[in-house]
Structure 1
């Protein structure tokens, strides 16, 4: 198919048809995947809910806080992920992260 030979309205129509076909195939693939997941879970004597709970890390323990705000002890941070605003403000004031450590 020579796309450069198509007019703008024809290209828009083609785009619409392609998007619809992609959506149809995606829905079919999702259905097949769900069937495979159910069959595999059944083979091993698991429910889909059990598989999803284990896969999502639902049994993980929360990480303990490593740092606390001296102005408000309810504000804590584990040291993982993005720094909370109060930590960044504390560091911007020239103080060190070590001085926020719990138990120091």
Structure 2
């Protein structure tokens, strides 16, 4: 059985050989792809699909009915998101609408 250092040296040689083979094959594959794209007239959108505009969407937000009301100020809260200070840490049943 080979020693640890011998195995490391063999791995380095193998990794270098793998990188060289990948670069050679990738170059020839890329040439083939470019030739086929030129022959058939593909566009970037044909190959990769249409571009999305980030996270923009056409959703509309529907307002949520309030579930809680502060009796002193009349402020309301829907129960979603961070709780306002007037209800935080208190029994929410007292503020239910």
TM-score normalised over the length of structure 1: 0.48
Q: Are residues 67 and 17 of structure 1, via their aligned partners in 2, closer, same or farther at CA, if it must alter by over 3 Å?
A: farther
Moved over 2 A (4+): 52-63, 66-70, 89-93
Indicate the structure with greater strand content: 1
Distance 2:25 2:62 in 1: 48
Q: Give the number of equivalent residue pairs.
A: 67
Q: Which moved more, 1:5-14 or 1:37-46?
A: 37-46
Distance 1:53 1:67 in 2: 31
Distance 1:32 1:19 in 2: 20
2:59 is equivalent to residue 65 of structure 1: yes
Instruction: Provide the residue aligned with 2:17 in structure 1.
Output: 21
Indicate the structure with greater helix content: 1
Unmatched runs of 5 consecutive residues or more in structure 1? 71-88, 94-104
Specify the structure having the higher radius of gyration (Cα): 2
What CA RMSD, in Å, does the superposition of the two structures yield over aligned residues?
3.2
